[in-house]
Amino acid sequence: MRCPFCHFEDTKVLDSRPTQDGQAIRRRRECLDCHRRFTSYERVEEIPVWVVKKDGRREAFDRGKVLRGLLTACEKRPISLESLEEVVSRVERSVRDLALGEVSTRVIGELVIQELRDLDEVAYVRFASVYRQFTDIEGFRQELERLIQAHGRRD
């Protein structure tokens, strides 16, 4: 595997272990040239799932896009990258388990929101405010009230 820092073509695997959901292998690697360490993930290549956008366009499911959305919502929150990778894996697994071949962005957004609700309430509200496109403070207030009520039921 090529080093992401110096682009040397050879690395050494220091540690391998399955991810928590068992859908990938996490490998710690060291570059044989610059000696910097990095993590790679190995997962089975599956049949592509097509995402149907709001305007009707279709594109292949991209776990990187889901991760970028989560990283934005979780900015400056005490959430590890590994936790976010696990969320992305669960969302991707759920999408593939639907076995539809196509899935709407709405379904993916709802899966992410459900994961964030349990992971971090601040990140949940951040993601929901963009995903649900609140146009005024009233929509935002209603979402907060739903979160507070759900939190009261869990206690």
Do 121 and 84 sit in the same domain of this protein? yes
Taking only the tens of pLDDT, the chain with its 155 residues reads: 999 999 999 999 999 999 877 888 999 999 999 999 999 999 887 788 999 999 999 999 999 999 999 999 999 999 999 999 999 999 999 998 886 789 999 999 999 999 998 899 899 888 988 887 777 888 888 888 888 887 776 65
Total domains, the chain: 2
> Are residues 53 and 8 part of one domain?
no
Q: Is residue 63 domain-shared with residue 24, that is, in the same domain?
A: no
CB 37 within 8 A of CB 28: yes
Give the list of residues 6+ apart from residue 91 with CB closer than 8 angstroms, or none.
Answer: 66, 108, 111, 112, 115
Residues 38 and 55 occupy one common structural domain? no
Q: Look up the domain containing 35 and give its range.
A: 1-44
- Domain co-membership, 61 together with 133: yes
24 & 98 share domain:
no
Same domain flag for 37 and 57: no
Indicate whether 87 and 132 sit together in one domain.
yes
